[in-house]
Structure 1
Amino acid sequence: MKGKIKKWIKRALWGLLGVIAILVLIYWELVSYGVQQGYGQMNIIWNARPVEEFLADPNFPDSLKARLNLIQDVRRFATDSLGLKDTENYKTMYDQKGEEIMWVVMASEPFELKHKEWKFPVIGSVPYKGFFNKERAFTLKQSLEKEGFDVIVRNPGGWSTLGWFTDPILSKMLNRSEGDLANLIIHEMSHATIFVKDSIDFNENLATFIGDRGAERFLIAKYGEGSKEYRDYINEDKDYVKYVNHMLRGAHALDSIYKSMRTEDPVEQKKRIKNETIKMIVTALDTLTLDLNKKPSERFKEKLPNNAYFMNFRQYQAKQNDFWEEYNGAFGGDLKKYIAHLSTRYPFL
């Protein structure tokens, strides 16, 4: 009897291993990517040091110590005054030594503002793919371009692992202005509080809204509404909002152009119309009244933006008016109440 049980267990184990092996083969690309990302993330976490060590280091610049203290102030404000989830995030720092450590690939159809998506467990479909290895990111970029996609690669200022790991401060964050730094920290903390599966555009737009409003509230609470810190942030934000709105209008214009194209139209004709439209959008940038950049079109003098660039603005900014209306109309501009409402309406993942 015991011999039969052992044989049955052995067969069951071999069967289970066989199933696992088959699943690994089927999902090898996903498994391989997950292992690479896990290794990259753990390398950063392992080499991050507690903030207290940097604060106690006499050789660490006082100006950067002030930024580290500011981040801790932002964390407390975000949890106590805004109701964002309190985690162990941003209590350590990883020294990037001036180098970029993550590359995010985004792609869009060439004649349609439709992003390419990748599917992942838990979080669902995502319109970007991140790498801790520059070569892998640009290899994917080249592969997607050969398939005909419009592609961009960007370096994020920060990211959230949604509680799966402990997110450290990245040393390059400390180069940001006080308002911009507060915005980034609150944005990423928002992801760890409210994150809806298969809804990246909603998640990023919401985190952008909470980051913007939260940074304003924080600067007023810490420095006062008439302070230089608050006024500088508002002036920077005014320029950025004008730029964003222009790019969203540009995306709308491109959308209309693409919808007017027919399947049978020659590809070269479509490319010409597309490029002419994008050139018009870029040239019109210089009609914006910006305080900090008098000729914003200069950034595109070497290369025009593509569909993936415009999609990036839609992903982070297109729903801001919707949140504004609900925030002011139903909650009277009370950000903490609005966040509590959203947390109830959208249970985390």
Structure 2
Amino acid sequence: MAIKTRKIFKRILLALLIIVGVLIVVYWDLVIYGVRQARGQMNIIYNARPVEEFLHDPDFPDSLRRKLVLINEVRRYAIDSLGLKDTRNYKTLYDQKGEEIMWVVTASEPFRLKAKEWTFPVLGSVPYKGFFNKDLAVALRDELKKEGWDVSIRNPGGWSTLGWFTDPILSKMLERNEGDLANLIIHEMSHATIFVKDSIDFNENLATFIGDRGAEKFLIHKYGIHSAEYQTYLNEDTDYLKFSDHMLRGTEKLDSLYKTMSENDPKEKKAELKKEMIEKIVASLDTLTLSEDNNPSERYSKNLPNNAYFMNFRRYQARQEIFWDEYRNQFRSNLKAYVEYLSEKYPFL
């Protein structure tokens, strides 16, 4: 009987090994990507040092020390007053030594605002791909361009591992002003609290909303509603909302244009119409009344934005009015109650 049991066990084990082997072969690229990402993440975590070391280091600049204290205050406020999840995140600091450490590649169809998606375990479909190696990010960008995609590559100010790893403070975060820094920390903490599988646009829009509202509340709590810190944040946020609303209207114009095109239309003609539309969207940026920038179109003087760039505004801003309506009408601007409601409605992954 024991011999028979061992034979059955060996067969089961062999079958499992075969299945694992087949999966590794089929998903080899994904396995390699996962290993590289884990290695990059582990390198950052391993080389990050406890915040307390920097706070007690006499050679560490006072201005940066104050930012570290501020991050801890933001973190505590987000947990106690906003109801975000308490994790080990942002208790260590990784020195980037002035260098970028992550690159994110996004892509869209050239004549339709439809993102390319990559599928990952647990997360599901994701419309971007991150790298801790610039060469790999550039190689993917170039490959996608050859395939005909509109591609964008950018350096994120921060990212969340959703509580799976200990996310450190990155030294470049300390270059931000008080409001921008508070917004970033609360945005990323929101991801570790509410994250819905296969719903990146929802997740990013929601984290944007919670980050914006949470930063406002924190700055008023710490500095006061008439403080320079709060007023600076308010002016910058107002400018960005005007800018992003303009770009969202631009996406609607591009959508309308693409719907007039057919597969039989010459590619060159479609590309020319697309270029003309984007040029109009960019040029009309200068009609906006912004407090910090009189000629926002100049940032695109060398390179026009493409579909992948416009898709970012949908990913982070297109659903803000939906959240605003719920926040104001159902929760009377009580952000903690709203976060608790969303946490119950959308179980984490």
TM-score range, shorter chain: over 0.9
Deviations 1:111-137 (A, max 9, x none): 000000111111111000000010111
CA distance in 1, matches of 2:333, 2:2: 70
Shift of 1:14: 2.9
Given the alignment of the two structures, is residue 184 of structure 1 paired with residue 184 of structure 2, yes or no?
yes
Secondary structure in structure 2 of the residue aligned to 1:272 = helix
Secondary structure in structure 2 of the residue aligned to 1:327 = helix
Q: Equivalent residues in 2 for 1:1-349 (5 A)?
A: 2-349=2-349
CA distance in 1, matches of 2:201, 2:6: 52
Shift of 1:13: 2.8
Structure 1 stretches lacking a partner, 5+ long = none
Secondary structure in structure 2 of the residue aligned to 1:105 = strand
Shift of 1:51: 0.3
Secondary structure in structure 2 of the residue aligned to 1:89 = coil
CA distance in 2, matches of 1:269, 1:94: 49
CA distance in 2, matches of 1:23, 1:321: 43
* Runs of 4+ residues deviating >2 angstroms: 1-16
Deviations 1:61-103 (A, max 9, x none): 0000000000000001000000111111000011000000000
CA distance in 2, matches of 1:294, 1:99: 30
Count of residue pairs the alignment pairs up: 349
Deviations 1:209-229 (A, max 9, x none): 000000000000000000000
Moved more, 115-124 or 11-20: 11-20
Deviations 1:12-71 (A, max 9, x none): 333322221111001111111111111111111011100000101111100000000000
CA distance in 1, matches of 2:307, 2:269: 17
CA distance in 2, matches of 1:22, 1:76: 46
Secondary structure in structure 1 of the residue aligned to 2:140 = helix
Secondary structure in structure 1 of the residue aligned to 2:67 = helix
CA distance in 2, matches of 1:5, 1:83: 52
* Cα root mean square deviation, aligned: 1.0
Structure 2 stretches lacking a partner, 5+ long = none
Moved more, 102-111 or 18-27: 18-27
CA distance in 1, matches of 2:66, 2:288: 35
CA distance in 1, matches of 2:162, 2:256: 36
CA distance in 2, matches of 1:6, 1:46: 42
CA distance in 2, matches of 1:2, 1:253: 72
CA distance in 2, matches of 1:285, 1:253: 14
CA distance in 1, matches of 2:26, 2:244: 41
CA distance in 2, matches of 1:299, 1:185: 27
Shift of 1:324: 0.6
Which amino acid in structure 2 is aligned with residue 344 of structure 1? E
Secondary structure in structure 1 of the residue aligned to 2:69 = helix
% identical aligned pairs: 68
Which amino acid in structure 2 is aligned with residue 270 of structure 1? K
Which amino acid in structure 2 is aligned with residue 196 of structure 1? V
Secondary structure in structure 2 of the residue aligned to 1:235 = helix
Deviations 1:186-235 (A, max 9, x none): 00000011111111000000000000000000000000000000001001
Secondary structure in structure 1 of the residue aligned to 2:105 = strand
TM-score (norm 2): 0.98
Shift of 1:9: 3.6
Shift of 1:291: 1.3
CA distance in 2, matches of 1:172, 1:86: 23
Shift of 1:4: 4.8
Shift of 1:294: 1.1
Which amino acid in structure 2 is aligned with residue 126 of structure 1? V
Shift of 1:8: 4.2
CA distance in 1, matches of 2:16, 2:127: 34
CA distance in 2, matches of 1:16, 1:236: 56
